[in-house]
A and B are shown apart, each in its own frame.
Chain A
Amino acid sequence: MTQNRPSWSIDPELDGIDLDPSDFAASVALKKVPNGDVFEASRAGDVDRLAYLLESGVNVNARDQWDSVALYYACLAGHLEAARMLLENGAICSEHTFDGDRCHYAALNLKVRKLLKAFEARPPPLNPLQAAMRETFLGCGANRAYLEQADDAHIEISGFQSNDGSSFNYFPPDVIFYVQGRAIEAHRVILSARSPFFRRKFATDWKHRKEVRFAREKLSYPALYSLIHFFYSDRLEVAVDDMEDVVRICKVCKCESLQRILEKELIHQKYADYKSLSEIDSSKKRFILQGLFLPEEDRLPASLHKILQVSLANSTRQPNLDNGVEELILCAGTMQINDLENDLADVCARVDKKNFRCHQVVLASRSEYFKARLSRMMDFHEGKDDTPIDTLPCLEEHDLSTEAFEKMIEYMYTDELKDIDPDQAGELFDAAARYLLFPLKRAVADVLLPHLEEASPAELCHWLQLSDMYDVPKIREFCLDTIACNFETFAEMSEFRAMLLTLPPPSGDSSFRTTVPSAPGAEVNTDQCNLLDDLREKWLEAEAAELDKRDESALIFDKRLEMLMVVAEREKSDGFANDGIPNGPRTSLYPYATTPMSSEQKHENVD
């Protein structure tokens, strides 16, 4: 490459390149590095080892002794699959960063560059909590305005769609900082959680202030902005020129671990010029840091966890409200608030007479339900209570146990789910669905799945119904698979037959059951598939005859289902007569000769 030819002049060529799935498969047998670290695995393209390392939570953006990141090696050696895995796990590939530029330069071929480009355009890979808090931060008008203006100056903070409907992500800030005449909008609880300095200030000088103006010349707006953005998202994006300012602010804010990392990085950046290929480039150098570099207790989930612990402790110390003497106790509550350790709670959720002190910004950021509810407080009945001004606004939630609610808010604050009893899972699925906390469903499913291995058939029926109702594909698949593979065992159980009655009948649409390809557009609603249709599909996979006999096998299955339903109907009417008596000998309940069919017998029938 000639010196005066900027690297991106080849970009137009990238447009003509398509990445096929076949590109990701290695063309030659690759070396295995069973004991290699993330750098060796990336260099060798050993995706199995890499997958294992990533699973175990290795920091993908760490540098080795040669100041290289794992992604650099994968790009250098042209291992597309390895590079993609690293990128999906949050490896930084942004241009104008030290590591990102090296990856771009080192890329073996244009396909690798295409991959890097594709990932640069994506929103940064953040966990649900950090992503939600970042949305809230950028949902504030002033914050977004700076970002857009910075965008024009080519210091983009990657992947935020500003046209995403500003009202949608907006949750009003409760404090505004003015630095050099420009505003940063923020929420007290987040800043307090992340920095002892802000916590002290919000408890004392700034307690009742909505605005804080900094007059000091030395304080730089971009630096403070970057730091506050980091407080919300665990991701620091800063121009290298502003890094010294950030270090200075960290010192004041007592963010010690971050300060140490930045100081080290500053030294590194000083020498970085010699190491990267020099280029004619007017755009500013950037530095991007993922929260993974910080010790765990200094990251966002741990910080919010601490705040939540305090609020929960305070919640239990508040008297549980009894409706009769509500007002009296409310007064007592207000008096007590001053004694409590300051948890900055600004809303109270009342579940089954227990109060939970919470933070509006966290609830609203995590759940669209709470966002709508909190912003509509004034319109509805809740807002009309004439409670004293000093008490927290109260949200009453019904149809939910306090235990489930506590687990749920713990998840909202920390993205983590600890010690779930399988019995609780059903209620948590309900909570996740009701409060539109979709990642929680997956988290509960992950906890529940190992327990299902030992679950009884009756329990599996229960979970199948629940997972279908709350749309938890992982559990639903598992149950369907198990039932399809052991269909006869289930067919003998009254619980299973009873369940059949509650399900909508399988669709008569033959496109589901035949091998004839369905008409284009026929499968619009793949989400809301009929349970029995899916069960038939699974059963056919496990049991059906050869392809040309498949339709006949399906008919047999349908007949069998019909028969079971007739039995179930009968059991139901019998059940009303002698309710509560455990199932007697089942044979008497069979009106037809329904001897269990093995696959061989079925084939005979077909023939």
Chain B
Amino acid sequence: MSGQKKRSFLNEAFKHQVVFFQECVEKTWKILEHAIHEIYNHNLSSFSFEEVYRHAYNMVVHNFGEKLYSGLLTTMTYHVKEMFKLIEAAQGELFLEELNRNWAEHNKAVQMIRDILVYMDRNFIPSTPKTPVREFGLNLWMDVVIDASKTRSRLLDTLLELVHREMSGEVINRGLMRNIIKMLMDLGFTVYQDDFEKHFLKVSADF
């Protein structure tokens, strides 16, 4: 009988926990949102991995995965748009450098976000027709930065100009060039082909 009592107490505690969580879900999301902002701002030292992970886990377990996911999309989109503004504003040579730097930062951030939200990535996303975090990061970059009407042609022109200068004997920043090409490859082989290889081969042939 005493065992019975203990169990029903457990049951109560469990219910209490669920109800309690429903009340503080907004607060939890605010913490997570803040953490995602801080990831993009390279300022994580005020966070504990365990704490952030636990909050994200709790949200998914208590059926707020949907909220977490949509919130994540909004926050990430916001940051990539900010990055895009910086890239767009950069002039001349700096354009590629800015692009490369932001791409690296975005990648790092996506990786970090994925680590924190790995529970969502593994348990919530596969059961819904949603895009996993990493893939979403790539798509987002593609949609916001590369597909913007000006970037595409500007990127191609800058790259081809670099190639041309190298061919005519100038020293160029090869590391930068390699990183940008790698970015195109990461975004998908067809992106690389359409945005660079075709034009590159044509120009090379002309040369």
Contacts and interface: CB of A to CB of B under 8 A. Distances in A.
Interface string B1-36: 000101110110011001000000000000000000
Contact of A436 (B6, B118, B128): B118
A434 B52 CA distance: 12
A436 B14 contact: no
A433 interface: yes
Interface stretch (A14-22, A119-127, A245-253, A391-399): A391-399
B50 interface: yes
A459 interface: yes
A8 interface: no
A382 B48 contact: yes
A423 B128 contact: no
Interface in A376-430: 376-377, 379-382, 384, 395-399, 423, 426, 430
A380 B118 contact: no
Contacts of A340: none
B112 A434 contact: no
A254 to B, nearest CB: 40
A395 B50 contact: yes
B115 A372 contact: yes
B53 interface: yes
Contact of B119 (A384, A423, A434, A465): A434
A40 B138 CA distance: 57
Given A423-B6, A433-B123, A527-B127, A384 B54 contact: no
B103 to A, nearest CB: 17
B57 interface: yes
A504 B53 CA distance: 26
Contacts of B44: 379-381
- DSSP class of B's interface residues: helix, strand, loop or mixed? helix
Interface stretch (A211-219, A466-474, A551-559): A466-474
Interface in A178-224: none
A373 B53 contact: yes
B184 to A, nearest CB: 20
A398 B51 contact: yes
Contacts of A398: 50-51, 54
Contact of B54 (A372, A426, A434): A434
A409 B4 CA distance: 29
B8 to A, nearest CB: 6
Given A381-B48, A426-B14, A458 B126 contact: no
A527 B126 contact: yes
A321 to B, nearest CB: 16
B47 A381 contact: yes
B53 A462 contact: no
A595 interface: no
Interface string B135-173: 000000000000000000000000000000000000000
B61 interface: yes
Nearest to A422: B7
B129 interface: yes
B122 interface: yes
A369 interface: yes
A2 interface: no
Contacts of A373: 49-50, 53, 115
Given A380-B47, A381-B46, A433-B123, A524 B7 contact: no
A533 interface: no
- DSSP class of A's interface residues: helix, strand, loop or mixed? helix
A495 B8 CA distance: 10
A434 B57 CA distance: 7
B132 to A, nearest CB: 13
Nearest to B42: A379
Nearest to B61: A469
Contacts of A465: 14
Given A398-B54, A465-B14, A469-B61, A436 B48 contact: no
B45 to A, nearest CB: 5
A471 B123 contact: yes
B186 to A, nearest CB: 13
A518 B47 CA distance: 47
Interface string B79-116: 00000000000000000000000000000000010011
Interface residues of B, number: 34
B96 to A, nearest CB: 26
A56 interface: no
Contact of B45 (A380, A471, A524): A380
Contacts of A434: 54, 57, 119
B11 A369 contact: no
A384 B48 CA distance: 10
Interface string A526-561: 011000000000000000000000000000000000
A381 B43 CA distance: 10
A462 B61 contact: no
B118 A368 contact: yes
Contacts of A470: 61
A37 to B, nearest CB: 43
B118 A372 contact: yes
Contact of B48 (A396, A426, A504, A527): A396
A363 to B, nearest CB: 13
A480 B53 CA distance: 31
A439 to B, nearest CB: 14
Nearest to A469: B61
A456 interface: yes
Given A381-B44, A384-B45, A398-B54, A369 B7 contact: no
A423 B10 contact: yes
Contacts of B49: 372-373, 376-377, 379-382
Given A456-B4, A458-B11, A524-B129, A436 B45 contact: no
Contacts of A372: 49, 115-116, 118
Contacts of B15: 502
A161 interface: no
Nearest to A524: B129
B73 to A, nearest CB: 19
Contacts of B57: 433-434
Given A372-B118, A381-B48, 10 more contacts: A368-B118, A379-B112, A380-B47, A426-B14, A433-B61, A436-B119, A462-B10, A466-B14, A469-B62, A504-B63
25 contacts: A373-B49, A373-B53, A376-B112, A380-B44, A380-B45, A380-B47, A381-B45, A381-B47, A381-B49, A382-B49, A395-B50, A398-B51, A423-B6, A426-B10, A426-B14, A433-B57, A433-B61, A433-B119, A434-B54, A436-B119, A436-B122, A470-B61, A502-B18, A504-B63, A528-B127
Interface of A: 368-369, 372-373, 376-377, 379-382, 384, 395-399, 423, 426, 430, 433-434, 436, 456, 458-459, 461-462, 465-466, 469-471, 495, 502, 504, 524-525, 527-528
Among all A-B residue pairs, the 4 with the closest Cβ atoms: A372-B115, A527-B127, A528-B127, A380-B49
